[in-house]
Structure 1
Amino acid sequence: MFTGIVQGVAQVASIQDKPGLRSFRLQFPDGFAQDLGIGASVSCDGVCLTVTELHGDNAADFDVMQQSLSLTTLGALGEGSPLNVERAARDGAEIGGHPLSGHVDFKATLATVRQPENNHVMRIQVPQPWMRYIFAKGYIAINGASLTVAEANRAEGWFEVWLIPETLRMTTFGDKQPGDTLNIEIERSTQVFVDTVRDALDERLGPLMPALEALLRQQGSSPEELAGPLPKLKGLS
C-alpha cells in the first residue's frame, strides 16, 4: 500500500527488453533507496513495481509485464524519463494522502494547463465510463500522487486538480504538457459505493434502467446521484 505522497523524482537509467517483459533500471534521489531490499514495492508513476536487483544505494531494477506496459504510461518511457516514486507505506506511518494500491485503472490525457498566481491547474480528459467514479472534493491518484478533485464535469468527461508549488517541486507535474498521458487510480471506497448503488438500481429497476438513465442524462444527472436526494426532473410533478 502507498499513501500517495510522492517522495521524489527518479530517472530511467536503462531499459532492457526480455521475453514477455521489460526491465527498467531507475536512478533514485539521494537517500531514497536506503535500506531498500529485493522484493520491496515501489510506486513508479503510480504503478506498484517490485525491486528485482539493487545497484548501490541509489539504483534498482524492476521488471514490468507486457500487460502493464500497455495499460499504463510505463510503456512510453525512455532512458532519461522522469517519474514520481514512493516507497511502500510502513505500519504506523502517517497517511498524508489516501490509501493507494498502485494498480492503475486507466490512462487519461492532460487537456489543458492554467497557471494562476502560485497555482497550477491541470484539466484532465477521462474515458467516459470512468467519470462515474470522479467527484468534486473527492480523492484521485495521478501518476502516484494523491490529489483532491477541484471540479468534475461528467457531461464533458473531464476533471481539474490544483497544484501548489510544493507539489510541483516534488513531482514531475510541472513538466507535463497538454496531450501527455497520465496514470489514474480511482479511490477504491468511491468505486465500491458507486458500483453498489448501480447494482442495487439495476436489480430493482431492471428493464427500466435504460429509460431512466436516458431521462437522467437529459436532466444533467446520473444514476449515482440517486444515492442522495432525488434530482428534480423537468416536466414531472
Structure 2
Amino acid sequence: MFTGIVQTTADVVSIKKQHGLKQFGIAINPEFCENLLRGASVAVNGVCLTVTEQTHDKVFFDVMEETLRVTNLDDLKETDTVNIERSLAFGHEIGGHILSGHIHTQAKVISVDNTVDNCKLTLEVDAHWMKYILYKGFIGVNGCSLTVGNLTENTFELYLIPETLKLTNLSEAGSGTLFNIEIDSQTQTIVDTVERVLAEKKLS
C-alpha cells in the first residue's frame, strides 16, 4: 500500500526489452533506498513495482506487458523523470490517501494554466471513469494523492501548489501528457454497490 505522498523523483537510466516485459533501471537517491530489499514494493509513477535487483547506483524493476499496456511506463525513455514512493510502513504518518498502486486508466492533459500561486491542469479521461471522480474527492495521478476540482462529462481539474510541482514530475506536464490514474477505492466500491443495488431493484 501507498499514501500518494511522493517522496522523491528519479531518472530512468536504462531500459532493456526482454521477452514479454521491459526492465527499467532507475537511479534513486540512496537516501531513499535504505533497507530497500529485493522483492520490495515501490510505486513508480503510481505503479506498484517489485524490486528485482539493486546496484550501488540503480534499482531495477521488471514490468510485464499488461502493466505496460495500461500505464504510461511503456512511453518512458532514458533520462525521463518518474515519481517514487516506498511502500507504507506502519507507524508512519499517512498524509494522502490509501493507494494500491494498481492503475485503472490514463488521463490526457488538455490544458496547463500557470498562475503566480498555483498551476491548474485540466485532464481528459474516458467518460466511463468519471462516475468515480467526484468534486473535492481524492484521486491518484502519477502516484500523487490529489484533490479533484471542477468536472465536466469527461474532464476534471487539478490545482497544484508550488510544493507539489517542486517534489513531483507533474511540473513537466504539457498538452498531450498522459498520467497514470488510480481511482479512490472507497469511492469505486460505493458507486459500484449503489449501481448493483439499483439494478437488482429494477429486476425485482
TM-score bracket for the superposition, by shorter chain length? over 0.9
User: Partners of 2:53 and 2:116 in 1: how far apart?
Assistant: 43
1:198 and 2:198 correspond: no
Letter in 2 for 1:193: I
1:45-124 pair list within 5 angstroms: 45-56=45-56, 58-124=57-123
Identity %: 44
Give the length in aligned residue pairs. Answer: 204
Q: Can you list the C-alpha shifts for 1:163-215, whole angstroms capped at 9, x where unaligned? A: 000000000111110111110000000000000111111111249xxxxxxxx
Secondary structure in 1 aligned to 2:198? helix
Show structure 1 runs of 5+ residues with no match. 208-237
Letter in 2 for 1:29: N
1:13-32 pair list within 5 angstroms: 13-32=13-32
Q: Can you list the C-alpha shifts for 1:57-106, whole angstroms capped at 9, x where unaligned? A: x4210000011111100001011111100000101111100000000000
User: Partners of 1:172 and 1:74 in 2: how far apart?
Assistant: 13
Q: Which has the higher contact order (CA 8 A, sep 6+)?
A: 2
User: Partners of 2:197 and 2:122 in 1: how far apart?
Assistant: 32
Over alpha carbons, which structure has the higher Rg?
1
Are the counterparts in 2 of residues 33 and 59 from structure 1 also a CA contact under 8 Å? no
Match of 1:158 in 2: 155
Q: Can you list the C-alpha shifts for 1:91-127, whole angstroms capped at 9, x where unaligned? A: 1111100000000000110111111221001111010
User: Partners of 2:84 and 2:70 in 1: how far apart?
Assistant: 18
TM-score for both structures, normalised by structure 2:
0.97
Runs of 4+ in structure 1 over 3 Å off: none
Letter in 2 for 1:120: C
Shift in Å at residue 30 of structure 1?
4.3
Name the structure where strand makes up a greater proportion of residues.
Answer: 2
